């Protein structure tokens, strides 16, 4: 028979600090699954396509940094143990996406956004506040956020050059995973955010994508 380990507030803060370092330091997150791009052929893109795809993958990488921070913030303040576990599990799955995007960015000769620490801090704060309000709101925020991510991924898939099967395979798997995360959050009792709230989230998301595409 196994027993659940109980962490003190200090333990949890140290775990959050460790999670932040593993998210923000280069090649710190070890994926649980190999990148879908590994099985795809290497194709040399022209300079413009390489720069554009690197920018798109940088945006997606920052999105995963935000997802990590959001889930960690929510796990810190979640009231129900099963909700906290669900947030921590979702964060573990997002590590795959984080590592895959970073690997592809490096393959394209580029680098992750230097703004990642800023977006991590903001997202962590939002997640913590959502968890303080209620677990239902926290789960609803996950669903709404993942819906926004899916829209970005759909858009990026239309912009990836046909011959870049590596990036395409990564984004397609991410899209499938994110859609599942959204559905799971709603099934767990998440609040369905009204359209005006989602519109506001969309505007904030555009700020992130515009700034991290080049920086």
Crossing angle of the two packed helices 195-212 and 47-77, in degrees rounded to 10: 130
Reduce the DSSP state of residue 16 to 3 states and report it.
helix
Nearest Cα to 164, choosing from 8, 40, 73? 40
Tokens of 97: 């996406």
Nearest Cα to 22, choosing from 125, 115, 92, 108? 92
Confirm whether residue 178 is marked as ligand binding. yes
Answer yes or no: are the C-beta atoms of 188 and 139 closer than 8 Å: yes
- Alpha carbon distance 134, 131 (integer Å): 5
Confirm whether residue 146 is marked as ligand binding. yes
Confirm whether residue 181 is marked as ligand binding. yes
> 25: how many CB neighbours lie within 10 A of its CB?
9
- Alpha carbon distance 40, 32 (integer Å): 19
Crossing angle of the two packed helices 81-107 and 9-24, in degrees rounded to 10: 20
Q: Which amino acids are annotated as binding site, given as ranges?
A: 64, 94, 97, 146, 178, 181
Question: Which residues line the annotated binding site for Fe cation?
Answer: 64, 94, 97, 146, 178, 181
């Amino acid at each position: 028979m196994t027993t659940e380990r109980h962490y003190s507030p200090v333990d949890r803060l140290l775990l959050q600090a460790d999670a932040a370092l593993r998210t923000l330091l280069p090649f710190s997150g070890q994926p649980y699954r190999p990148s879908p791009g590994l099985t795809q052929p290497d194709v040399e893109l022209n300079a413009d396509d390489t720069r554009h795809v690197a920018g798109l993958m940088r945006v997606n990488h920052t999105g995963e940094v935000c997802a990590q921070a959001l889930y960690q913030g929510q796990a810190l303040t979640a009231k129900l143990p099963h909700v906290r576990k669900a947030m921590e599990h979702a964060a573990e799955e997002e590590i795959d996406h984080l590592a895959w995007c970073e690997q592809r960015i490096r393959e394209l000769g580029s680098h992750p956004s230097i703004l990642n620490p800023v977006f991590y801090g903001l997202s962590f704060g939002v997640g913590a506040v959502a968890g303080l309000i209620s677990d239902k709101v926290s789960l609803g925020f996950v669903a709404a956020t993942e819906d926004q991510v899916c829209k970005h991924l759909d858009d990026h898939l239309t912009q990836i050059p046909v011959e870049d099967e590596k990036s395409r395979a990564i984004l397609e798997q991410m899209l499938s995973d994110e859609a599942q995360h959204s559905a799971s959050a709603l099934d767990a009792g998440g609040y369905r955010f009204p359209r005006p709230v989602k519109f506001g989230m969309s505007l904030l998301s555009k700020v992130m994508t515009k700034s991290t595409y080049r920086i």
